[in-house]
Structure 1
Amino acid sequence: MKKFRFYIDFEKEEKWLNQMLIQGWELCKKSYGYKFYKIAPNNTIIKIDYRTFKNNRDFEDYLALFRDSGWEHISGSKYSGTQYFKRVNENGDTDIFSDTPSKAARYKRLSNMWLTTAISYFPIFIALILTKAINITAFLNPRELYYTPGLWERTGVYFWKAFLFETPFAVMRGGVWLFLPVLMVLYLAFAIKAEKHYRKTNVE
């Protein structure tokens, strides 16, 4: 079974995944969606960390540390960031974090990732404006998205026929030009939200 959801709050994501466990569905892979397989009810617990690694050795050492503590790695790679673990030792700890600061730090790493991604798109956006691939004045004057000669001088049915015909194309042009700035704003919002979770978790 596959489900599609998006989370920034790790606690909410863990709660949902563990509710799926209670219903007999265990996470086996997370990429663009959550892939589950049917299991018999058990006492396992799923927990989430957020880390990326520069090389395979550091990643393997990281996984070995969790294995030694009774946690099995379910999904995630050295580049994916989000790492999913399930408890395989029923007598082990019920959490993968030893203290509040380390638990909160995963949100800080997540916030930094979203912020870095947003900033990385900025020079691309500026370059597209400078090369006139994006018409920045069209954001202030949407009429520039319409290319039909003399459109705004037409009246009556001639205007509406031309206007309605070109509007879908104008919307597509504007949508393409808005894609990068919207993406940057969205990533900044994700970074701010993750930062809020970091501060909240760090004081609990």
Structure 2
Amino acid sequence: MIDYIKGEIAELTPTSVTVETGGIGYLIHISLNTYTALSGQKSTKLFISEIIREDAHNLFGFYDKYERELFLLLISVSGIGANTARMILSSLNPQELVAVITSGNVDALKSVKGIGLKTAQRVIIDLKDKVKAEGVELNSLLASTVNPAGEEATAALVMLGFPQQASQKVVSKILKDSPESTVEEIIKTSLKML
């Protein structure tokens, strides 16, 4: 499985980007949020979700892990495919989407092209608890993705055998208390807490 692709931006449109790395150009489908983040850049690192079907092998790319996590949650809902999930993430930024789901705002989801009343209700019912409980909580994921030291520390803890979710929560708590911590400090403190 591909976790991320890093390389030069060969072509960028509001719905896709071609990233060239190692002499290969990867066509990656993106949301408008990712498009906005990539505008004006020459190179990028996109977090990837591979959708492999009998008739297609598609790559969906996200500027940060948090947006990818929301994409994966959305496609886990019955009736929501990859393109519909991308449409939702193009219409609402990740923070707005989490707010819409946790507040149960069906009308905001219905405003997205291709989402009807039943689908909007299903998204809210299926994801309300997951968005709150599964470590997909806004602050924890944003803290570790905004701070590269946090991301590195989380990866190190996972390699040491600790669960990803627990590692992310501990690292975010440490970064919340002392945002200037180095990778080493974060790991040492985390080991005491895990």
TM range (shorter): under 0.3
TM-score, with length taken from structure 1 = 0.26
TM-score, normalised relative to structure 2: 0.26
By relative contact order (CA 8 Å, sep 6+), the higher-ranking structure is 1
